[in-house]
Structure formats: C-alpha cells, structure tokens
Amino acid sequence: MKVIVCDKTESECIEKMRAAGLDVDVRDTVTPEELPDVLPAYDGMVVRSRTKVRQALLEKCPNLKVIVRGGVGLDTIDVEYARSKGIAVMNTPLASTDSVAELTIGLMFALARSIVQATASMKSEKWDKKSFDGDEIGGKTLGVIGLGNIGKGVAKRAVALGMSVVAYDPYAKDSGGFKVVSNLDELLVAADYITLHMPKTSETAGMISKKQFELMKNGVRIVNCGRGGIVDEVELAAALTSGKVAGAALDVFAEEPPTDWSLVKLPNVIASPHIGASTKEGQGRVGMEVADIMINFAKSQK
C-alpha cells in the first residue's frame, strides 16, 4: 500500500508504518496546486490541519482508499463525498484531548489574572499593580459548549478547580456526570466563563453572535480552542469593545492565519496560533495513532 504524508508528522510514525510494510512518501511541503498531480499515485494519505481535501481533489484520485487525519475535527475534508466514493476517512479523536483541555484551562487562568497583559507591562519596565486586579475562577460557573472528549476533559479539570459546570451539546450520548441543558440560552445566561468545543458545521457556524452575546452576563469571559467560525468575530469584537465580554482567549479563527488582525489586537484579547494540540506528548500520541490506523487499514485490505 502506497501512502503519502502531506503534513508534518513525527518520524516515529513514519518509521512505524514503513516497518509494517507500507510504502510511505513524506511530501509535507506539497502545495494545493501540486496535489492533483501527485495524489493519484497513492492508496492512502495522512493529513493534519494544513492540507485541505475537497471534492475537486478527490475526483482526481481514483486509487485513493483511505484518508487519515491526525487530529480531532474533519472539517478540512469533504467527508461525505469521500465516503460516497468508497474512501475511508478516519481521525485521532483521543490523542490530543489532554493537550487541548490543558490549554483551555491555562487560558482561563490567563484571562482571570491578566497574565499576558501584566507580563507585557513588566517588559515595558512598569510596576503597575493597580491595573491587574484579577478574579478567582473557583466558585464561578463554566459553560461548556460541546461535550465531546475535549469538552469533558475541560469540565473535569474545572470541577477540580472548584468551578460549577453547565454543558450544552444536542448530540452528546453521555453527559459524563455533568449538568447538561437542552437549550443553549440557559447556558449563556448562567455562565461566567464559556468554552467552545464544537466542530464547525452548517449548524454551528456563527452560532455565537449578537443575540447570544446579549444573553450573556456582563463581564463574561470566552475561550475558544475548538474551531474558528463558530463565534461571529465581528460581534465578538463589538462585545469586547463595549465591555459586555470582559475578555476572550482565542486559539482558532475563522480564517487562519487571519488577514484582519483587529480582533487579536484588542487589549482584552489573548491569542495563540492554533496550538491546542501542539504538545510533545499530544503530537507523539497523534503520530502513533495515525500509524496504527493506517497499518490496520492496510491489513484489512489483504
């Protein structure tokens, strides 16, 4: 089975697939323009966030049998079309759970205590204690939108820190023991902090917009380590500017990288370049799981 690795992937993952007898080519700088000419030669492909696999590309790949994405979401792949062509599409939903959950909690602390702003002030040689009165997160209510593996991981950590958790997920099969509401509005009204862990779909795109901000508590704080485009960035900027939202911590954006940096530059926003899964431990687990999935698929084809 011939496999192309289109995005940066751990060398241990590559070697494990090769040791199992797979013919693996690493083309982790391949461009979208090159892929239509390159991909038809392969039976399987490994992608992460960089490579987008859309219908137009899939139509040119009659030999492709499997796509494995190292990561949680599948929004970079036209999954239904691929499966309609008999192409298996798989991902690694558990491997980066702890990494993303820990970043989410870290960003909550950073918002509560203005850690980023205080550091910038100190680097400017200022000793400005009065500007950085903070809040404890213990005793506050965390609203978790999306109660999948990562959402549950965040909720578990929040409870350990003394927070109350209320969750919303119309597709969750297991509440994980957390309070789940059937109406998103109920969560928005109750939460002091809101964290988003939903995939981006036609249903969730722009689901947090002007109406939803109006329902939130004054001074709410928002963390998004899930997917860009779920929060309306224009309305978020307006809510941050008015003070309705006291602060936002964003790891994901509607456009990555952004072409409009005005939201990121607001003083009550802290941001990172989609690094939720970027820990050594998490990436190692992702790579090994990718290898196992591809190896097991190859075995199933014999």
pLDDT in tens, the chain (302 residues): 999 999 999 999 999 999 999 999 999 999 999 999 999 999 999 999 889 999 999 999 999 999 999 988 788 899 999 999 999 999 998 888 999 999 999 999 999 999 999 999 999 999 999 999 999 999 999 999 999 999 999 999 999 999 999 999 998 888 889 999 999 999 999 999 999 999 888 899 999 999 999 999 999 999 999 999 999 999 999 999 999 999 999 999 999 999 999 999 999 999 999 999 999 999 999 999 999 999 999 999 87
| Structure-block tokens of residue 170 | 């119309």
Clarify whether 256 is annotated catalytic.
yes
The pTM score is: 0.88
Confidence at residue 173, expressed as pLDDT on a 0 to 100 scale: 82
Confidence at residue 94, expressed as pLDDT on a 0 to 100 scale: 85
Q: Which of 300, 293, 302 is nearest to 67 (CA)?
A: 293
The span from the first CA to the last CA of the chain, in angstroms, equals 10
Strand segments (E) across 19-163: 23-26, 44-47, 66-69, 88-91, 141-145
| Structure-block tokens of residue 57 | 């590309």
- C-alpha 189: how far from its chain's center? 24
Clarify whether 54 is annotated catalytic.
no
Clarify whether 197 is annotated catalytic.
no
Strand segments (E) across the chain: 2-5, 23-26, 44-47, 66-69, 88-91, 141-145, 164-168, 179-180, 193-196, 220-224, 245-250, 269-271
Q: Which of 106, 49, 65 is nearest to 283 (CA)?
A: 49
Q: For the chain, which residues make up each domain, given as ranges?
A: 2-95+280-300, 97-271
Confidence at residue 75, expressed as pLDDT on a 0 to 100 scale: 83
Q: Which of 259, 148, 136 is nearest to 195 (CA)?
A: 148
Q: 97-271 domain in CATH 3.30.70.940?
A: no
Number of other residues whose CB lies within 10 A of the CB of residue 289: 20
- Residue tagged active-site, from 27, 50, 113, 274: 274
Same fold yes or no, 2-95+280-300 and 97-271: yes
Confidence at residue 201, expressed as pLDDT on a 0 to 100 scale: 87
Q: Which of 158, 200, 191 is nearest to 177 (CA)?
A: 158
Candidates 3.40.50.720, 2.60.15.10, 3.30.470.20, 3.30.70.260; correct CATH number of 2-95+280-300?
A: 3.40.50.720
- Residue tagged active-site, from 227, 233, 235, 289: 227
- C-alpha 229: how far from its chain's center? 11
- Cα dihedral 95, 297, 10, 227 sign: negative
Confidence at residue 219, expressed as pLDDT on a 0 to 100 scale: 97
Confidence at residue 74, expressed as pLDDT on a 0 to 100 scale: 87
